[in-house]
Amino acid sequence: MFYLVLGSCVVWVCLLSYLLAIDRQVRHLQRRLEARRATSPERA
C-alpha cells in the first residue's frame, strides 16, 4: 500500500511539473507574438 501511495504521488508531481512547463512555454510564445504584433505596424 505504501508503494502505491508513493507511486501515485510521484506521478502527480511529474504531471504537475509537466503542465507547469507547458504553461510557461505557452506564456513565453504569447509574449513573443504580442511583441511581434506591437512592432509590425511600425515596420509597415
pLDDT digits (tens, 9 = 90+) for 1-44: 999 999 999 999 999 999 999 999 999 999 999 998 888 766 55
The span from the first CA to the last CA of the chain, in angstroms, equals 65
Residue 39's pLDDT is what? Answer: 83
Cα–Cα distances (Å) from 19 to 12, 14, 16, in that order, read 11, 9, 5
Residue 37's pLDDT is what? Answer: 86
Q: What is the reported pTM? A: 0.63
- The cell numbers describing 32, all together, are 513573443
Q: Long-range contacts made by residues 1-9, C-beta under 8 angstroms, separation at least 24?
A: none
> Which domain, by its residues, includes 10?
1-44
Count structural domains, the chain: 1
Angle at 28 between CA 18 and CA 25, to 5 degrees: 15
Residue 43's pLDDT is what? Answer: 57
